[in-house]
Amino acid sequence: MPDKKKYIQREGQLSIILNLVLFGLKYWAGVVTGSLALIADAWHTLTDSVSSVIVLVGGKVSRKPADENHPFGHGRAEHIAVVIIGVLLAIIAFDFIIGAIEKFNNHEKTVFGTVALVVTIISIVVKEAMAQYAFWAARKAGSSILKADGWHHRTDALSSLIILIGILVGKYFWWTDAALSFAVALMIGWASYEILSNQIKSLLGEGPSDQLLKAIKEIGESVCHREIYLHHIHLHNYGNHTELSCHIKLPKEMPLDEAHLICTKIEDALKDKFGYIATVHPEPLFF
């Protein structure tokens, strides 16, 4: 696999710098125009900088080797870092939904100008470019944390696109800014849900699919040339690697060294096929 550390560091550092610049531009434009939607978009961009810091820290921790207290390594630190990003997005979404409701109730109208238009267009172009780079780096490095950061950039680009549409039609409707703020908040909330739901499943553990169960059984029987009665299959994702444990049934009269050889063959085959670090436990088969 390509150098994961290199991709995470490059994406994180670039993201921090560009997001801080965009935050300053958006916040300034929001204050000048009095637009809650632009200010919300600015804070969304700032959280991208925070999430990028989390990307760097989480990526560094996840690369630490196994030790006495963490025998399976620190790979799940990456999942935890992604969960933190998702929680940050959820908090921001809730805050701006409240703000949008208040602005709607107060019948506040916002007059957008050239400043807001130019800053929003710049934001759309830069954020989508950052998203594309993060997705590319995630594919190269096989990193879920880079993918999550890419979606963070993408939601920021989409929220800016919504604001751009609002700027173009805002002069016709007094409630445009409140509606845009609410729409941006919903988009941020949806991104939070997508990120959290995927990562929490990985942290809690998922059962193998029927297709995977069938493939594991076929691999085991193909290398052993016998029925092995595979059961109690468990997958444990540790970020940088996946552990698999399972039980097989073998004839009770089979010598221990032969049973051990069969288990080793299955473990090696599963590692070659799926990259899993497998532990196969033999049990006596009674007819």
Instruction: Give the residue ranges of DSSP H helices in 106-143.
Output: 114-141
DSSP 251: E
Give the C-alpha separation, 277 to 280, whole Å: 10
Q: Is the pTM here over 0.75, yes or no?
A: no
pLDDT < 50 stretches in the chain? 1
Work out the angle between the directed axes of helices 36-62 and 4-33 (0-180°, nearest 10).
160
Give the integer Cα–Cα distance in Å for 151 and 57: 19
As a whole number of angstroms, the distance between CA 19 and CA 129 comes to 12
pLDDT of res. 1: 46
pLDDT of residue 149: 77
d(CA 268, CA 125): 48
CA dihedral of residues 28, 21, 43, 60 (deg, nearest 10):
-170
> Which fold, 4-204?
Alpha-lytic protease prodomain-like (1.20.1510)
Instruction: Give the pLDDT confidence score for residue 65 in this predicted structure.
Output: 63
- pLDDT tens string 266-287: 889 888 888 788 888 888 887 5
Residue 143, Cβ neighbours under 10 Å: how many? 27
Q: Beta 231-237 vs 277-285: how paired, if at all?
A: unpaired
pLDDT of residue 113: 77
Edge to edge, the sheet with strand 242-251 lists 231-237, 242-251, 277-285
List, by residue range, all CATH 1.20.1510.10 domains of the chain.
4-204
Tokens of 202: 């990985």
* Distance in angstroms (rounded) separating the CA atoms of residues 70 and 51: 25
Give SS3 for 255: coil
The pLDDT assigned to 117 comes to 86
CA nearest neighbour of 55 among 73, 76, 78, 74: 78
Helical (H) or strand (E) element with 246: strand 242-251
Which pLDDT score is estimated for 155? 77
210-285, CATH topology level:
Alpha-Beta Plaits (3.30.70)
Q: Where in the chain is the domain with CATH 3.30.70.1350?
A: 210-285
Pairing of strands 242-251, 231-237: antiparallel
